[in-house]
């Protein structure tokens, strides 16, 4: 993705940012011609107004964007698509939005999934880096989230477990990280039984992706992402409507790869590990069945309550492995339950966390960066819904109540209470286009997760 950002540009036109409460004062300083022009074009100082201002020669001389008094970075997200071609420079404060975040939003607003389309050669606007912007941090965020959006939006026919592993390997090579992958029957030999069970029915072999970066002595941070590259529902087959968007069921994996990309680009002083169980949940003669009992890496035997609740099954093996190193923090991301979407809609990932301090940090950064999430409880009495009469635990209750909570409680069985752990149950998809967030795959909460890692382990980030 080529970003339209430049260090300087001769003749760059001024792009004024004016808060709603400062509109009248700003307007008084304009010429009578400009005031009349704005009035005739219906620009009255409402939040979101964007207007071009003419020069004496009739050409565009400037532009103005009216910001809400409590602006977020997304108030800058449409500038790259609405302004005409040419160079633009910021005039006026972007506060309360950091200029780095403003540029990040512009870059994210320009993302389009273009794998199967001819490139758009039409010239667009260019933006001069504003004073105070952290160019490296903005570019790292744009590139990381764009990578995740591309992965999530790619059809499953072109992005299976092998291709997801290749994407992770490419990222590892770019940052000189250690990369390994366990494929197919080797999963059984190396004690990844759940990953194997869920993925074995597909002609595309399941695999466990493992990326490690950083110095051994630094604080350990482990990211775990659900990598179901397509989910048919298994033998508990989804209806067509439910299957339609299942190319995005690896959105959790793409999100943690985006977070990892930002962490490595920033060279944060952490020992980072990324675990992604990558599978296709398919149907064939050797598919796992409802009420099968399958062992886990931890040693617990699990009764399969529903083969369409496969994400928690592959995650439990990865979470147990993550916890075995006693990291300072485990963050997992997954497109796990429809119940979370019913409760919170598609824009708010559900946050479950066994550590109040970690949860508070995530919520604060989510609000600050307009990358929100909402905490739901790990309500202990609901654990009884996972009781099994034939195994140590059942993976999925059949009553349908509290589904996001019971899924999180299942995962909690594989993380000790003394290891800080947060689980995000997310949509990973923008259903409609909004400024900075075009329709398609989305690395929800990635910027907030990165900010918490940076805040906790020695460097300021946002």
Same domain? For 331 and 448 the reply is yes
Catalytic residue among 273, 312, 437, 447: 312
Residues 228-283 have pLDDT tens digits of: 999 999 999 999 999 999 999 999 999 999 999 999 999 999 999 999 999 999 99
In this structure, what token pair is assigned to residue 71? 């602006």
Same domain? For 89 and 156 the reply is no
Residue 329 lies inside a defined structural domain of this protein: yes
Task: Specify the pairing of strand 227-231 against strand 271-281.
Answer: parallel
Same domain? For 105 and 148 the reply is no
Residue 461 lies inside a defined structural domain of this protein: no
Per the CB < 8 A criterion, the answer to whether 146 and 442 are in contact is no
Listed residue (266, 415, 248) closest to 335, CA to CA: 248
122 band by pLDDT with thresholds 50, 70 and 90: confident
Predicted local distance difference test score (pLDDT) of residue 1: 65
Same domain? For 152 and 301 the reply is yes
Residue 388 per-residue DSSP state: -
pTM of the model: 0.96
Distance (Å, whole) CA 424 – CA 445: 9
Distance (Å, whole) CA 186 – CA 169: 19
Instruction: Please indicate whether residue 190 is annotated as part of the active site.
Output: no
6 φ, ψ to 5°? Answer: -135, 155
Same domain? For 81 and 162 the reply is no
Domain that holds residue 384: 138-456
Residue at which a domain ends, from 133, 151, 174: 133
Q: Give me the mean pLDDT over the 288-311 stretch.
A: 98
Predicted local distance difference test score (pLDDT) of residue 247: 98
Same domain? For 198 and 336 the reply is yes
Same domain? For 445 and 333 the reply is yes
Domain with 176 in it: what CATH number? 3.40.630.10
Same domain? For 40 and 165 the reply is no
66 φ, ψ to 5°? Answer: -95, 125
Same domain? For 301 and 412 the reply is yes
In this structure, what token pair is assigned to residue 391? 């195994």
Same domain? For 170 and 252 the reply is yes
Predicted local distance difference test score (pLDDT) of residue 121: 80
Q: Which residues pair with 208 in a beta bridge?
A: 182, 277
Residues 409-418 have pLDDT tens digits of: 999 999 999 9
Residue 462 lies inside a defined structural domain of this protein: no
Predicted confidence (pLDDT) at residue 154 exceeds the cutoff of 50:
yes
Q: Give me the mean pLDDT over the 349-378 stretch.
A: 98
Residue at which a domain ends, from 100, 133, 166: 133
Listed residue (59, 57, 94) closest to 79, CA to CA: 94
Residue 128 lies inside a defined structural domain of this protein: yes
Domain with 27 in it: what CATH number? 3.40.220.10
In this structure, what token pair is assigned to residue 259? 């977070």
Compute the CA torsion angle 127, 131, 133, 136 (nearest 10 deg).
Answer: 80
Q: Which residues contact 319 (CB under 8 A, 6 or more apart)?
A: 224, 330, 332, 411, 414, 415, 421
Task: Specify the pairing of strand 207-213 against strand 271-281.
Answer: antiparallel
Residues 131-144 have pLDDT tens digits of: 999 999 999 999 99
Catalytic residue among 238, 368, 375, 434: 238
Same domain? For 361 and 383 the reply is yes
Domains held by the chain: number = 2
Residue at which a domain ends, from 133, 165, 189: 133
Residues 185-199 have pLDDT tens digits of: 999 999 999 999 999
122: left (phi over 0), alpha (psi -120 to 50) or beta: beta
Angle at 225 between CA 117 and CA 200, to 5 degrees: 85
Same domain? For 154 and 253 the reply is yes
Instruction: Please indicate whether residue 437 is annotated as part of the active site.
Output: no
């Amino acid at each position: 993705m080529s970003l339209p950002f430049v260090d300087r540009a001769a003749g760059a036109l001024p792009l004024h940012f004016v808060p709603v409460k400062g509109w009248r004062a700003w307007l008084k300083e304009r010429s009578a011609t400009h005031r009349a022009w704005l009035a005739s074009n219906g620009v009255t100082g409402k939040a979101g107004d964007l207007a071009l201002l003419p020069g004496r020669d009739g050409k565009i001389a400037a532009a103005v964007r009216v910001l809400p008094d409590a602006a977020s970075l997304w108030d800058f997200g449409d500038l790259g698509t609405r302004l005409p071609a040419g160079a633009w420079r910021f005039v006026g404060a972007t506060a309360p939005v950091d200029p780095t975040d403003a540029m990040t939003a512009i870059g994210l607003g320009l993302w389009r999934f273009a794998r199967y389309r001819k490139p758009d050669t039409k010239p667009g606007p260019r933006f001069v880096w504003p004073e105070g912007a952290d160019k490296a941090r903005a570019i790292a965020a744009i590139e990381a989230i764009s990578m995740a959006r591309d992965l999530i939006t790619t059809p499953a026919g072109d992005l299976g477990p092998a291709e997801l592993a290749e994407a992770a390997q490419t990222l590892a090579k770019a940052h000189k990280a250690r990369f390994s992958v366990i494929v197919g029957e080797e999963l059984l030999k190396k004690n990844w039984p759940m990953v194997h069970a869920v993925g074995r029915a597909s002609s595309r072999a399941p695999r466990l992706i493992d990326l490690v970066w950083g110095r051994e002595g630094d604080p350990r941070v482990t990211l775990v992402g659900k990598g179901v590259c397509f989910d048919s529902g298994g033998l508990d087959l989804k209806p067509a409507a439910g299957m339609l968007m299942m190319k995005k069921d690896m959105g959790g994996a793409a999100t943690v790869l985006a977070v990892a990309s930002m962490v490595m680009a920033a060279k944060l002083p952490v020992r980072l590990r990324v675990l992604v169980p990558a599978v296709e949940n398919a149907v064939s003669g050797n598919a796992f069945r409802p009420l099968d009992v399958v062992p886990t890496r931890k040693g617990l035997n699990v009764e399969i309550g529903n083969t369409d609740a496969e994400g928690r099954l592959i995650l439990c093996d990865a979470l147990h492995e993550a916890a075995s190193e006693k990291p300072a923090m485990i963050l997992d991301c997954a497109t796990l339950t429809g119940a979370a979407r019913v409760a919170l809609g598609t824009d708010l990932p559900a946050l479950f966390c066994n550590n109040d301090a970690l949860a508070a940090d995530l919520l604060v950064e989510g609000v600050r960066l307009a990358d929100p999430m909402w905490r739901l409880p790990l309500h202990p009495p609901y654990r009884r819904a996972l009781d099994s009469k034939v195994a140590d635990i059942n993976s999925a209750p059949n009553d349908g109540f509290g589904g996001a909570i019971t899924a999180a409680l299942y995962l909690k069985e594989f993380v000790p209470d003394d290891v800080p752990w947060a689980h995000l149950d997310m949509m990973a998809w923008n259903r409609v286009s909004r400024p900075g967030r075009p329709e398609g795959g989305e690395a929800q909460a990635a910027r907030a997760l990165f900010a918490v890692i940076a805040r906790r382990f020695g460097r300021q980030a946002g």
